[in-house]
Every structure is written in C-alpha cells, then in structure tokens.
Structure 1
Amino acid sequence: MSSGRPVVAVGALGGTIASSSTDGSAVVPTLSAERLAEAVPGLVESAAVHAETLAMLPSPSLDEPTVLRALCWAREQVDGGAVGVVLTQGTDTLEETSYLLDLFWDRPEPLVVTGAMRSPQSAGADGPANLLTAVRTAVAPASRDRGVLVAFDDELHQARWVAKTDSVATGAFRSPVFGPLGRYVEGEALYGAPARHPVPVELPDLRTRLEEPLPRVPLVVTHLGDKGEVLDVVTAAEPDGIVVGGFGAGHVSAEMAEVVGRAAVAVPLVFASRTGAGPTGRAMYGYPGSEVDLVRRGAIAAGWLSPFKARLLLWTLLLTGETDGERLRAAFADRGAP
C-alpha cells in the first residue's frame, strides 16, 4: 500500500497502445510503461501504480515464452503486495495471450489485459480509457477470483471466451458465445452472474522448462474442397499435437477425415469449430467427417473453445507433460464447457 492507495502493477509488452511516430510515418512500439501510466487522467487517484516495461513488441511477435515470463512477473507482483495486475499489449494476439495467462493464473487477485486500437497520437485514442478501466477493474474487490479478465471499450470479458472480432474498430473485442462478463460504468466494475473459472493448470518450473524444446502445435483450418493435403504435410513434420478448425460444428470432408484418422494415431489431434461461436457437435451427425466420425477416429472435440484457444490448451497440457489421450479428452471436456 502507498499513501492509502492500493498498489496495482502495470506491465507493458508493447503494441498499439505504446506506439508512436516521430516523423508522421507509421507507428511502432516505443512508449514505456511509465509513460503510458503518466498519460492517463485520474489514474494516480485510483491506485499507486508500479509500472514496468516487460517487452517492446508488436503483438504478432509475442510468443508463449514471453507471455509466460510476463505471467511470472505478475505472480511476483501480487505476492509482493499488489492488489491486482494489468498487462498492456497489442490487440492482434490479445485473445490468445489472455487465455494462455488464464490457464495458469492461480491467484485470487485480478490479472487484467488491455490494449488499444488507436495509437496515442491518433484523434480519439482509446488507450488511456482502456488502461484506466483495467486499473480500476484490478482494484475492485468484485474482480477477485475471476481469473484473467480483458478490459476493452468499457466491457469486461472472461479470457476463455473473448475474441477480436474487428480489425480496426475500437469495440473490436467481443465474447460471441456468452457475452461480456461485466461492464465498466461511471468508474465502477460491475458484474452479472458469476462465471465458472476452471482450476488453473500447475505452472512448471520455467527456469528449466523454457530451456527445453517447447511443444509444437500447429493449427490447420479447413476450407471448401480441402482433401487434407496440408494436414498430411503438417503430420509428416512430426509435431507434438495438431488442432483442426472445422466447418460448422467441427466437420471436415470425407477425404480429410481419412487424414485426420491417420494423424490422430500419431499425435493428439483436436478439432474445433471455425465459425467463431458455438461448440463442436457431439451426436447430431454421423457421416464421414462429422463430429461422431472424427471422435471415432481418435480426434478430441474442443467443445466451446475456438481453434485458437483449443490450440493453447493443447499446447499448455503438452508443456506440462500430459500426453495420455483419455486425460487430454477429459481436460477438453471440462475446459471446453461453459
């Protein structure tokens, strides 16, 4: 605590929220965490902010080790007395990084991820408002025990369901399946009905684990006329697991189903719906390439998880050493459910 104000740690990873240009050309990440915090009106009244720059990257260049190092930093901050943590980053990968953090976040204190669609030099820059929302959300007692939250455009989302649904709009983030978890109104984080937060995965010792080869889990999205040629090439590269983004409720062509069956014998293979909302099917269709057929061939259904979130869950489970097919299937049945 400082001067009676709760401490919130703000870690910056780069992205549009931290981007600027000195000559009027295209912007790049340049602004430190301290400068981001200093530019937000009302922030110092909300909390005693400890700001630290963790990386200075555009979000497409973020990777799993960088995110897990940020996770360790966030855990250290709350263990040191912070009532919550905010991470700022670019929006392109935010729906994935927030879920990876959520899989391991085992503290009751809020971990809130935010960013911006417009750079600080743009008219109507949204970064300051999003950062203020995130910090005040991190301070709010009602935000505790909810896992990782995404604060954007005055809405609060559960990391498991949030998605970037527009390439340029300031309201780009939505939770297409179940809607936002809460809203930020007149300086207050307000929540509806409590949402289930699955038990966090136990974080391995990253000092040694990140020095070892990390799981390789490619994502293959099917398309009209797909006969599985790309999936065959991917399987031949001997990855540790594969995720397939299927049509509708997780379907593929009859020809691709044969390839899925061969791949599922070699490595854990998960299929998800590429639609952006709705689960994989369970028992509605039985034709070759349907959900029933793919499960029969050894594939694992992702449930309500998008292909991107399903890939991160499989990657996380493999990182911890889990390879047993039945336990993987049980994990997806649990974490892929509402």
Structure 2
Amino acid sequence: MTRHHVAIGALGGTIAMTSAEPSGGAVVPTLTGESLVDAVPGLADAAEVRAETLAMLPSPSLDEPTIMRALAWARAAVDGGAAGVVITQGTDTLEESAFLLDLFWDHPEPLVVTGAMRSPQAAGADGPANLLTAVRCAVSPASRGRGVLVAFDDEIHHARWVAKTDSMSTSAFRSPVFGPIGRCVEAEVVYGVPVGRLAPLRLGNVRGADDPRVPLVATYLGDDGYLLDRLRAEDVDGVVVAGFGAGHVSPRMAEAVGRLAADVPVVFASRTGSGPTGRAMYGYPGSEVDLVARGAIGAGWLPPVKARLLLWALALTGANDHDAVRAAVAERGTP
C-alpha cells in the first residue's frame, strides 16, 4: 500500500512547551517539530511524516505575517508532493490562524491545524492524540477539497466556524450553532457534513503582509464612541465593532460608527460568541437597521475576530472598498 506523505509545520504553543521547574509550571516553547513527532505513538503507521520548526512562539505572539509565511510553507510542501499538511500552534489564536489560512488556501489537499491544552509534561497531555488525529485527517481522501480544518479532541471543525470556547478544558474547541463537521473514530475519519468550500482569495500582487491595519473595538455599557473617534480614517483600512447582542451599540457609539463608515469600511459583529448579526428586527439608534443606514456592514455569522481577519485579508489584496467588503462579508458570513 502507498504511504501518504504529510508535512508538519510547528509554530510553538502549549503543544511544544516544557518547564525546567519540578512542578511543571511556567512552561515555554522548547520542543521542535521533530520532537513533537517522536512523542506520538502510532504516528508512523498513519503516514510518512516530515516535520519542520517554522517558529517557536506562544500563541499570543503569533501575527498575520507569521501565518502568511506558514501558508507559503504549506503550499510549497503540497507542491513538493505532500498529500496533506498539519500545522501545530498555540490555542489562544488558533481559530484566527486557521481562518486566515482558509481564506487563501487554494489546494484540494487538506491543511489541518491543531494544538494542545496541556503541556507535554502534564498528566493526560492531549498534544500527541491531537497531532495523530490531525495527521489522520490530513491523509483521509474524505478531507480533500474541504479547505482548512481544525482537529481537536477527536473532532474535526471547519476553520470558518470553529472557536475556542473554554480557557482550560481539553475540549475547548467548538463550532457554535453548527457543530463539528466530522470525527476521528478508531483511526477512521468520518464526515457527516458535505463539502461546502468557498473560493479562496487571490494573493496576486499584494501589499506587504504587515501593512494592513484593521482594529477591533469592543463596545461596553455606557460606550460613548470615544475610542472609535480616536481612530483616523487615513490610519486604518477598516474597523470591526464587536457589538451587544445581534450587533447593537449605544446611540453615541452609532454616531461614531457613521462618521468613520463614511470613509472606511466598518463591520459590526456580535460579541456573544454565537449567532448572527441582526438585519431587520430593531430600528432604534444603534440597532442593526440604524447601523446599516449609517453605512456599516453586518458580519452575519462571523464572530468579531474573524470579521477582522477578513477585512485584513481584503486590504492585503487591495479589495477593501465598501462594495467589495460588503460582498465578501455577505458570502463568508453566511452558512
């Protein structure tokens, strides 16, 4: 039987963290991609793997340029013959990295992102099992054409909908409302949801990967728009507002949204963690109807962090005028 080749790129994170303290606390990234592979029983039976250390960073230290470099590495691995690619990283920003990768992933071969909630020295470390599931997912023919996937706790999620929903639990990753699209059961990857792949964005001639600036502003009780008014249109490529409920803000915040939306795209999303922005229910100042009338764009089902990454990616490709943003959000913010 032909053995599939899987490329594994390690970016750091808890899955690669160890401690010099007897208690096992205060862990930091130390393990290479090769070390991660060596620690997984049965991995050699699942695929022929080649591991490479792309970075050695905790999750909060990752940024868009680092993820775009990982994207280029993953593309090169597939062009070099890999049947699939796995990227390991910290969980704090995993849902964002996976979504950004998915926006640009233009190969049918699976790109799977995974990590761990417990360090390798902890009792019941989950990193080896998650990595094995990710590799099995990467070599499964049923994974082809599904874009970027997240494998965690024996479940498989699509990058567009997955979210970290718990700060400590090993089952931290969920897809609110829509649920996982598959599972790994007794070494078999099983999908219960058909492929629904959106066309990737085209990189082409892009700006420098560190150029776009898209702030995320969360509203709060009594918000008067002070922070949003501090942003100058000439300094940003777009803004996302994380609003109450279905995307609502205070009347004064709504006025600030309108002032900024006259010059740059402003997208409002729900800060609740589940459910879409409203479209036509409420009409008071600061409601969804009011914000749209002021020129803002509802994020639909996209949470704030992913709406921000979509605006960042559109700015990177130079397709971030109001109409282009409105069309892209309508497409990717709809199930």
**TM-score bracket for this pair, using the shorter chain length:** over 0.9
**For the Cα contact (< 8 Å) 1:219–1:245, is it kept in 2?**
yes
Amino acid at match of 1:240: D
Q: TM-score, normalised by structure 2?
A: 0.97
CA separation of 1:237 and 1:320: change in aligned 2, threshold 3 A: closer
In 2, Cα distance between the equivalents of 1:287 and 1:102? 36
1:334 corresponds in structure 2 to 331
**For the Cα contact (< 8 Å) 2:158–2:180, is it kept in 1?**
yes
Report deviation, 1:235: 3.8
SS of residue matched to 1:234:
coil
2:197 corresponds in structure 1 to 197
Amino acid at match of 1:257: A
**For the Cα contact (< 8 Å) 1:140–1:189, is it kept in 2?**
yes
2:19 corresponds in structure 1 to 21
Q: Which runs of 5+ in 1 are unaligned?
A: none
Report deviation, 1:153: 0.4
Report deviation, 1:236: 6.6
Amino acid at match of 1:121: Q
1:286 corresponds in structure 2 to 283
1:46-89, CA deviations, whole angstroms, 9 ceiling, x for partnerless residues?
11101000000001000000000000000011111100000000
Amino acid at match of 1:309: K
Report deviation, 1:237: 7.5
Which segment drifts farther, 319-328 or 56-65? 319-328
1:64 corresponds in structure 2 to 64
**For the Cα contact (< 8 Å) 1:115–1:131, is it kept in 2?**
yes
In 1, Cα distance between the equivalents of 2:223 and 2:232? 15
In 2, Cα distance between the equivalents of 1:234 and 1:217? 10
Amino acid at match of 2:318: G
Report deviation, 1:325: 1.2
**For the Cα contact (< 8 Å) 2:47–2:139, is it kept in 1?**
yes
Q: TM-score, normalised by structure 1?
A: 0.96
1:20-56, CA deviations, whole angstroms, 9 ceiling, x for partnerless residues?
0123341100000001001000000111101000000
**For the Cα contact (< 8 Å) 1:217–1:239, is it kept in 2?**
yes
**For the Cα contact (< 8 Å) 1:181–1:195, is it kept in 2?**
no
**For the Cα contact (< 8 Å) 2:6–2:48, is it kept in 1?**
yes
1:35 corresponds in structure 2 to 35
Report deviation, 1:316: 0.3
Report deviation, 1:195: 4.3
**For the Cα contact (< 8 Å) 2:205–2:317, is it kept in 1?**
no
1:103 corresponds in structure 2 to 103
1:242 corresponds in structure 2 to 239
Q: How does 1:215-294 map to 2 (within 5 A)?
A: 215-235=212-232, 238-294=235-291
1:317 corresponds in structure 2 to 314
Amino acid at match of 1:7: H
In 2, Cα distance between the equivalents of 1:181 and 1:125? 24
SS of residue matched to 2:50:
strand
SS of residue matched to 1:315:
helix
**For the Cα contact (< 8 Å) 2:215–2:236, is it kept in 1?**
yes
SS of residue matched to 1:266:
coil
1:180-239, CA deviations, whole angstroms, 9 ceiling, x for partnerless residues?
011111101110121422110012356xx337x511000001111111111111347831
Aligned-pair RMSD on alpha carbons?
1.3
1:161 corresponds in structure 2 to 161
1:260-300, CA deviations, whole angstroms, 9 ceiling, x for partnerless residues?
00010121110001111111111111111111110110101
In 2, Cα distance between the equivalents of 1:194 and 1:303? 22
Aligned length: 333
Identity of aligned pairs, percent?
A: 71
